[in-house]
Structure 1
Amino acid sequence: MIVQARDYTSADEMRASAHALHQKLMNTRPAKKVAVVIAPKVIALRPSWRRAVQPFDAHVKDWQLWCLERMSPCKAHMRRRCEDFGITMEELTGRSRRHPIVEYRQLVMWEIKTIIKPEISYPEIGRLFGGKDHTTALWAVRRVAAMKAAQ
């Protein structure tokens, strides 16, 4: 059997030839060409009650905290302390190194390790606070403990 080389003028021509040869060898019928219709993109609007943060009554906030405490007492404590300090959870667990935020973060780490859940490990505390290193949690607990001892 002699195979002859063929010169192609474009990549599309080469692909079409390979596809035709493949169909011939596999004994398949050529696929029907289907017209593809691209639908216009529909922008789904969010419901009005999800567009902005709605102020909730005290009983709704208590219920939310109760649900959170059932799942994770540490996260519930973090949320409670965020409300006390007047900061968001994102600020507490974020990368900010501003002076008051860092002090709040260290204090909450110390509270979690000494009061809320003493058996928690330092890597777990670091993960609670947005993927921080265990040495960050260790430093925070030791620093707040030293400040409490000095008082």
Structure 2
Amino acid sequence: MTKKSVEIKVATAQDCMAVATLFDKYRQFYQQQSDLNSAMQFIDARISRCDSVILLASDASGAVGILQVYPTFSSISMANVWLINDLYVCESARGQGIAKRLINTCIELATVQQVKLLRISTEFSNTAASTLYEQIGFEKDTRFQHYNFFIKG
């Protein structure tokens, strides 16, 4: 497989459809029903409200990857924290280092923004992602247990 030239940029309102299409595929990867219209509305809201940063990777064929990060805070360290919530690369573009480039671009942006901590998670079964995160330098959290409470309705 030959590596293609890939550009990574911060997505804007003009990129909503490309991002939403990849976001819909990302959700399908996690066994969610395809819903491009809702994905478009969700991504449009994130971009227009500036409540996330979305990185978009594109090559000559079009959009091939996304990374969405949400800014938050750590009360304990009184610092900015970013949560990398969504990372997806099209199946046809995998194996080219695009996910790594998206994460490294996010790290560069976080450094400029004086973010103290980046968080990322994946399913226990996603060993490819876990391996990549550890290669980049992410460390497993062995201090805190994380819990979820799902609101019904």
Give the TM-score taking structure 1 as reference length: 0.30
Structure with higher strand content = 2
Structure with more helix by fraction? 1
Q: Which has the larger radius of gyration?
A: 1
